[in-house]
Each structure stands twice: as C-alpha cells, then as structure tokens.
Amino acid sequence: MMPFSELAKIGPPAPDEVEVTIFGPNFGECIIVHFGSNRWFVIDSCSYPGIPGPAALHYFKQLGLDASSVVERVIVTHWHDDHCKGISELVAACPNASIWIASALTSHEFIKFVQRLSKNKTAIAGHKAGEFSQILEELLKRKRAGLPTFGVASQNMLVHQVAGQQLAHGAPFRLVALSPSHGDHLDFLTRIAAQMPSAGKQKGSLGSPSPNEISIASLVEIGDAVLLLGADLENSKVSSGWGAVLRANSATPFGAKAQVYKVPHHGSMTGHNPNVWQDMVESDPIAVLTPWRRGRGRLPSTDGVKTITGLAQRAFATSDEGGTRPKKRHPSVQTFLRTNNIKVHSLQAESGFVRLRKQQGHEWAVELFGAACRLSELLRRRRSAKTS
C-alpha cells in the first residue's frame, strides 16, 4: 500500500513497459495508459479530496512528466458527473492530444440541449453541462482552425494505433471503441429530447440518462497486453449496450480476449453481462472496479462483489468505502452515541488507485496505492462496519 506521495520515488514506467492506472475516489473514475516510449492516453477525469485539479494531471506531475507533450488521446466516455469532473481542465492542459467523445454527444440535438441547459434555469444538471459546454467549444474551435485533433466514437471505430517499430517494446498498439451502437445513439437522442428544459417547466434535477448505453467501452491491444475497459456501459435490450457489443463481436471479433477487465459501471449488476466474461475476457483475469457512493447509494452491491470475485480471483477496488475508521469525538458525544445505540459512519472514502505494469512476455504486476484493496476485502470491511 503506497500513497500518492510515493509516486515520485517509484518513477515513471520504462519505455518498453505497459502501464495501466485506474483512479476511483469513491465518486469518479479516470484511466491512464502508457502504451510505450513515454506515449500515453487518458480516459475520463475525476478529482481526489485534498488534491487540486484532475487526478490525471496530478499523477503526471508526480512522475515528472509534462502532460502537454506525452498525452496523445483524451477519451470522454460519457457525460456522467463522476466521469467528467475536470475534463475541460485536462483537455486544456493537453493541447496536442486528440479529443474523442461518443458520436451522440456531438449531434446537433445534443449540442442544442447543452446550450439550452446553460441558458435555462429550469433544470439542475450538476457540473457536467458546464464541462461539456467547454469541451464542445474546444472541438468547434479546432474544427474552425482545420485541426484534425478530435474524433467521434461509435462501435468498432479505431481511435488510435501505433506500429510496433515506433515503440520501445516493438509491439503494435491499437485502441478500438466498442460502443455506442447506432441504435443506442438514436435512443439517447430520444431520451434527451424528452428532458429538454423549457420556459414554464417546474425546476428540478436533471438526471443522467439510464440505462447508460452510449458510454464508450474500449479494447486496448499492446502486443500481448490486452485490456477491456468497460466504462459505464450497461445492459438493457438484447440489441443495446453490452448486447450490441456482443452481437458485433460475434459477427467479427474485435480482437483477442482481455487479460485485464475494468469492470463496467462500478461493478453494478446492470453492467454485468456473463457473456462478456465468456466471449471477450480470458478465464480468471485481473479485474478492477471503481466503487461508487452517494448518500445511501452504494456500488458494488454484495451480490456484485460475490459475482465478480467468483469470476476473477485477482479482483481489486480502487478505494475503500469509508465508514470503517470513525472520527475521534468528544467523550460526551461518544457516551451519548453508545447509550442510544447510534452508529455513525463516514461517507467519505479514503483515496486510492490501482496500477498495473507489464513488459512483453511477462505477467502483470499489480500495485495498490492508498486505500485500494482486494475486492473481497470490501465485504469484510462492510461486515466490520456493521458490528463496530
């Protein structure tokens, strides 16, 4: 277990080393991948308590790297608050990186929707509307300048590739978007239209569309290192979400089976699809998820943890859930709580992240930082919290 402060001592990966770092501070997710020769891409953005700005920028700084010169792609998988916090700052810090977002999020209908949210005060959309307004402005600016440094992702689209002779390890690199399907694109626009704010409507909270079928899941191949990054993609109809991915993969396989699986949607059962594990993931892979907690809501569920650990002995969570380390309180307060049989648990989880490193022909090495832990440990800590 190592905190953020240890990163500078460990240093960046070797030029011939693949690195995958998954951040998840209990509400948020970000993935950073080094595919060789100090060349990187970033998926989504989140922030950690006590650390200013996006976690990705802090990570690069701790490693002594200049994000503006090493990051080649920034992928925004979808527009949930916990995946896009600080994304506009991240993009601004990586002006040479190509920005990729889901095709549905660049449609005329969605752009109009985001612009209306910025002007109309009948809906509360969280910070995602502001973040995406800035991202869209950046895309339009690049388009007007004739800069081909942006892209829109849909199913089976090549997002990035580099020939092996250009990388220190000599293996080719390929990043492919597995979703969203064209049908999911249209369904998303239909739901957005129904939520369009207008004058005279009662003010209320604007939730993110559910189920999430337009999130960009992706497959990464770096020689013999294969990753399936599930983002927040969920199941619904057979022809949507993971169902659409499986159907396309059955017709023409996207690539080799993954050794590492970033479990979708924080380990929820709505994101779990047994056929994905069977058809697209190697048996007993390394599985990593980012826990999610807001108020009483919590992912993964106990059933979710048991399901995932039954499929992967090496399953990890990026953060603790909070609640197992009670704060020190005044003795009179402690006496009152004990006398009235009141148990108080913190909803703020400790920060942590999981990092994987691999050289061609070798096994993956797993490092846990901060409060990251084995997924099975979450159940033990929950039971401990209930009895404490």
Give the pLDDT score at 323: 45
pLDDT for position 270: 93
Q: What is the pLDDT, as a whole number, of residue 242?
A: 95
Q: What is the pLDDT of residue 347?
A: 40
Provide the pLDDT for residue 127.
56
- Name the phi and psi angles at 243, rounded to 5: -60, -40
Say what the pLDDT of residue 297 is.
81
pLDDT at 219: 98
Number of H helices, E strands in the chain: 13, 20
What pLDDT does residue 205 have? 41
> Is 218 within 8 Å of 159 (Cβ atoms)?
yes
Residue 59's pLDDT is: 94
Please say whether the beta carbons of 129 and 117 come within 8 A. yes
Query: Domain residue spans in the chain?
Result: 4-199+206-387
Exposed, middle or buried by CB within 10 Å (0-12, 13-18, 19+), for 126?
A: middle
Give CA separation, 182 vs 109, 279, 328, 329, 363, in Å: 15, 22, 53, 55, 37
Collapsing DSSP to helix, strand or coil, 229 comes out as strand
Nearest to 91 by CA among 152, 41, 35: 41
Low-confidence ranges of the chain (pLDDT < 70): 1-3, 104-129, 189-211, 321-330, 333, 336-338, 340-350, 385-388
Cis amide prior to 15 (ω within 30 degrees):
no
